[in-house]
A and B are shown apart, each in its own frame.
Chain A
Amino acid sequence: MPDLTKTAEETPAQAPVAAAAKPEKARSLGSDAWHDLRRKPIFVISALLILLLIVIAVAPGLFTSVDPRAGDLREHFHTPPNYSHFFEGDWFGYDGQGRSIYARVIYGARASVVVGICVTVGTTILGGIFGMLAGYFGGWIDTIISRVTDIFFGIPLLLGSLVILNAFTSRTIWSVVFALITLGWTQMTRVMRGSVITVKQADFVTAAKALGAGTGRIMFKHILPNAIAPVIVVATISLGGYIALEATLSFLGIGLQDPTISWGIDINSAQKLIRTAPFALFFPAGMLSITVLAFIMLGDAVRDALDPKLR
């Protein structure tokens, strides 16, 4: 009996491989995608960049020994960069308060990476659960979840976050994460619901039911692995978007606040001196763009690998 269930589970995953008719041994969709991804230069580049960013976010002390909050107005007020001083405090110059821009760019990675990852994980879990319930049970559960989703979907992410964050007197990374998850889960719910409805009609689900599998087992062992691919794709692509959104909110002065170090805050404080000290704007803005670019490239590569239709 267990053998039968196992076959039922693996059949759809093997289908694209069988269609490709390769003489090698059969691979699951996951390992097939991984096999594809490793050969893509875009994936390798973006994955390495993201890995580097995560290392910077976890241990910024490895990259600079300068305190990003220490300002020396007397010596360094808007001192231009000294490009030959690699990894030193004055490599990217000093900002308006005499703080090392290089150190601030390094320490600013943490806020972006934490917000991006937490919001993506949070919206994926929340949207995944709601989407699974709505798609699997249908009926009134689906009606309620879909209508609530419609309501939240009616509020643009940026505007809604303004209202939520406006209510916090002092804002930390977690208030930004909270605001973005509260408004961001709807897209994931819709993707998951659509995907579950398609998979639910597959023969292997009927087979599992006929074999007497319980609701929980069908949902998590049979439907989830086969419905998760579009969710992973949307999650990876939106991660970059959430990082850009955090920077935009911080730039507007309603996201993160000092003493938290964020590229958005630094872009905001550098904008006043865009003519005299463009470098103070350039480095945080450049790092932010590279980070968002890395995540979006990763999302593109993952989508190409997981979506057999595009092959």
Chain B
Amino acid sequence: MGRFVARRLLQMIPVFLGTTALIFFMVHLLPGDPLAALWGDKAPDPVQLAALRHQQHFDEPLIQQYLDYMGGLFTGDFGKALDGRPVLDKITEALPVTVQLALLAFGFEIVLGIGIGLFAGLRRGKVFDKSALVFTLLLISIPVPVLGFLFQTIFGINLKWVKPTVQDSTDITQLVLPAIVLGSLSLAYVARLTRTSIAENIKADYVRTAVAKGLPRRRVIGTHLLRNSLIPVVTFLGTDLGALMGGAIVTEGIFNVQGVGHALYQAINMKEGATVSGFVAFLVIVYLAAGLIVDLLYAVLDPRIRYA
């Protein structure tokens, strides 16, 4: 196990360096000038532009900027927003809300997704299975902004079960509806993956053996079938936790949740390029770290990976 963890950590290093370098070059080498973009269609004032360039260190040689940026990432410095505040301040301010929201959505999609997938896979071809397929197909097809407004209109405005927008982002009960919207797309994928995996494994020899030795049904399904079938699901969940934190941008915008996504949404609307890239760099690191953690869990589920 120790060797597996060490190797996985070593593999992370080139990916981390490459991904962060890629973000850096996307920000600095693409044709547009994020600072000139602040003036919109008007011609930028050269004196102000030069001052801004100096403030954002855009006037230094590219390699120097890259080293500063990398040094910043390791010391937790994600650059400065245009109002002079460090981007990290904005991130830490909004992070707890987004973590709550993402975990809530994550829990929702795991419990409901695996549940639906399990029952559909066990009753393949029956009514429940067919309606689960139609239901997940609908969830996959409705884009997140549409689903957000749909739920907001139905549950917030028409039925009045919850407030249409979140009033207090630290109150976790108000985050339930946004979390359902956030987790619904992944819920559909989790349900479909679990279903296929269960339906495939239920014919496997080890399941037949378990049944033949007289194990109770609960134990055959819970210990033998489910544990083996969850491997592809866990792979998906690994990339998903990170994606949820980034994907929260639409949901947080619609429901007025004061999280990382909301701050990012505002930075886009204010055309604050430096803030946007700082946030994205941070979220990509979270995404990679979440992938790593779930990868390690993966080894717990499947001994073949541990000893390979």
If A240-B140, A267-B149, A288-B146 are given as contacts, then 19 extra A-B residue pairs at C-beta distance below 8 Å, sorted by A number, are: A151-B19, A154-B287, A155-B23, A155-B284, A155-B287, A163-B26, A163-B276, A166-B268, A166-B276, A169-B33, A247-B143, A247-B145, A248-B143, A271-B254, A274-B149, A275-B157, A288-B143, A289-B141, A296-B137
Measured between C-beta atoms, what is the minimum distance from B97 to chain A in Å?
18
* Residue of A252, A271, A300 touching B265 (CB-CB under 8 A): A252
Does B18 make an interface contact (CB < 8 A)? yes
Which residues of A have CB within 8 Å of B144? Answer: 244, 248
A286: nearest chain-B partner, CB-CB:
B146
Q: How far is the CA of A164 from the CA of B27 in the complex (A)?
A: 7
B250 contacts A248, C-beta separation under 8 Å: yes
Which residues of A have CB within 8 Å of B15? Answer: 147, 150-151, 154
Measured between C-beta atoms, what is the minimum distance from B116 to chain A in Å?
17
A169 contacts B32, C-beta separation under 8 Å: yes
Does B211 make an interface contact (CB < 8 A)? no
Indicate the size class of the contact surface on chain A. 35 or more
A243: nearest chain-B partner, CB-CB:
B143
Does B138 make an interface contact (CB < 8 A)? yes
| Contacting residues of chain B (144-163) with chain A, CB-CB under 8 angstroms | 144-146, 149-150, 152-153, 157
B287: nearest chain-A partner, CB-CB:
A156
A-B contact count (CB 8 A): 133
Does A254 make an interface contact (CB < 8 A)? yes
What are 14 A-B residue pairs whose CB atoms fall within 8 Å in the complex? A150-B15, A152-B22, A155-B22, A155-B287, A158-B249, A162-B276, A166-B268, A167-B26, A248-B145, A251-B250, A264-B145, A271-B254, A274-B152, A289-B141
CB-based closest 9 A-B pairs: A151-B18, A293-B141, A167-B30, A167-B32, A154-B19, A244-B143, A285-B146, A159-B246, A251-B145
A151-B19, A154-B19, A167-B32 in contact; A267/B145 too (CB < 8 A)? yes
| Contacting residues of chain B (213-260) with chain A, CB-CB under 8 angstroms | 242-243, 246-247, 249-250, 253-254
A158 contacts B143, C-beta separation under 8 Å: no
* Residue of A158, A247, A300 touching B247 (CB-CB under 8 A): A158
Does B202 make an interface contact (CB < 8 A)? no
Interface string of A267-311 (1 = CB under 8 A from B): 110010011001001000100110011001100100000000000
A278: nearest chain-B partner, CB-CB:
B153
Interface string of A158-174 (1 = CB under 8 A from B): 11101110111100000
Which residues of A have CB within 8 Å of B33? Answer: 169
Q: How far is the CA of A127 from the CA of B254 in the complex (A)?
A: 35
Measured between C-beta atoms, what is the minimum distance from A260 to chain B in Å?
16
A158 contacts B246, C-beta separation under 8 Å: yes
Does B273 make an interface contact (CB < 8 A)? yes
- Using a CB–CB distance below 8 Å, which chain A residues touch chain B? 147-148, 150-152, 154-156, 158-160, 162-164, 166-169, 240, 244, 247-248, 251-254, 264, 267-268, 271, 274-275, 278, 281, 285, 288-289, 292-293, 296-297, 300
Greatest chain B CB density within 10 A among A155, A240, A300 is at A155
A164: nearest chain-B partner, CB-CB:
B26
Q: How far is the CA of A289 from the CA of B149 in the complex (A)?
A: 13
Which residues of B have CB within 8 Å of A247? Answer: 143, 145
* Residue of A168, A274, A289 touching B143 (CB-CB under 8 A): A289
Which residues of A have CB within 8 Å of B31? Answer: 167-168
B16: nearest chain-A partner, CB-CB:
A154
B268 contacts A253, C-beta separation under 8 Å: yes
Which residues of A have CB within 8 Å of B280? Answer: 159-160, 162-163
Measured between C-beta atoms, what is the minimum distance from B241 to chain A in Å?
11
Does B72 make an interface contact (CB < 8 A)? no
Which residues of A have CB within 8 Å of B276? Answer: 162-163, 166
A159 contacts B284, C-beta separation under 8 Å: yes
* Residue of A169, A267, A271, A297 touching B36 (CB-CB under 8 A): A169
| Contacting residues of chain B (25-77) with chain A, CB-CB under 8 angstroms | 26-27, 30-34, 36-37
Which residues of B have CB within 8 Å of A151? Answer: 14-15, 18-19, 22
Measured between C-beta atoms, what is the minimum distance from B242 to chain A in Å?
7
Does B204 make an interface contact (CB < 8 A)? no
